[in-house]
Amino acid sequence: MSESLYSRLGGYDGIARIVDDVMNNHLANKTIKARFEVVDDLDHAKKMAVDFFAAGSGGDQAYTGKSMLDAHRGMNISEQEYMAATDDILAALDKHGIDGATRTEVLGILYSLKDEIIRV
């Protein structure tokens, strides 16, 4: 049996470190930083992102936040913004030495969520 995506990402702590870097990348990304600079509670947003990805990648944590559709409804996120966020995520995975097959799996998950994020 192959190792779960959750394990390959370093478990909860590894995912938390990756999400920290993703959020830092978003805040430095001129295409999307304005969306993240206005978040009232960035620590809560990070925790929800960690919990979402931990639960969705095979961890035993429960995700209690909004669905992707509800979290992004009314934001009118463009394809360009979506791609900028995806690039930030891939850069964080690279920084943490995540292998190519795992990156591809994460990318597949990101693309599977695309219709719940763009222009909803």
Q: DSSP letters along 39-53, please? A: -S-HHHHHHHHHHHH
Where helices occur in the chain by DSSP H, the ranges are: 5-8, 11-28, 33-37, 42-56, 68-72, 79-95, 100-112
pLDDT at 88 over 70: yes
Q: Looking at the whole model, is its pTM more than 0.75?
A: yes
Beta-bridge partners for 77? 118
Q: Kindly state the average pLDDT of the residues 8-29.
A: 98
Q: Which amino acid is at 63?
A: Y
Q: Which band of pLDDT confidence, cut at 50, 70 and 90, is reported for residue 57?
A: very high
Mean pLDDT of the chain: 95
| Phi, then psi, of 27 in degrees rounded to 5 | -70, -20
